[in-house]
Amino acid sequence: MNPYIFLFYAIAFEVLGTMLLPASQNFTKIFPTIILSLSYLVAIYFLSIAVTKLPLTIVYGSWAGLGVFSVAILSYFFYKETLSWQGVLGLFLIVIGVTLVNIYKG
């Protein structure tokens, strides 16, 4: 199976877990806490699979960069957080950076 699929799953589950952090209310709400904990475990599992097939620099750079991008965008919609034009520019630079790293991985 394509290792980028495992990387995508790792990013998706990490973003899910991160998005549930506010809903867990400092881990006092049991259901969001369980889901976010499982999400992080599944994310690490898929990340470990991706690392066996792709270089660590590619995997971690993509995971971290696209995770930050996704959480920022989803927080704008779900938690009504504001994004300045500088923040939006920074997010697009992250995407460009991740794309360049993946294209020119050598």
Q: What is the pLDDT of residues 85-99, one digit of tens each?
A: 999 999 999 999 999
Please say if the pLDDT value at position 106 is more than 70: no
The secondary structure of residue 104, as a DSSP letter, is T
The mean pLDDT of 14-39, rounded to a whole number, is 97
Nearest alpha-carbon partner for 101 in 47, 52, 56, 58 = 58
State the DSSP string of 24-87.
HTTTTSHHHHHHHHHHHHHHHHHHHHHHHHS-HHHHHHHHHHHHHHHHHHHHHHHS-----HHH
Residue 105 has what pLDDT?
Answer: 77
What whole-number percentage of the chain has pLDDT above 70? Answer: 99
**Coil, strand, or helix at residue 106?**
coil
pTM above 0.75, yes or no: yes
Nearest CA to 37 out of 66, 63, 6, 14 is that of 14
- For 30-63, the pLDDT digits (tens) are 999 999 999 999 999 999 999 999 999 899 999 9
Predicted local confidence at residue 19, as pLDDT: 97
Structure confidence at residue 104 (pLDDT): 85
Domain boundaries, the chain: 3-103
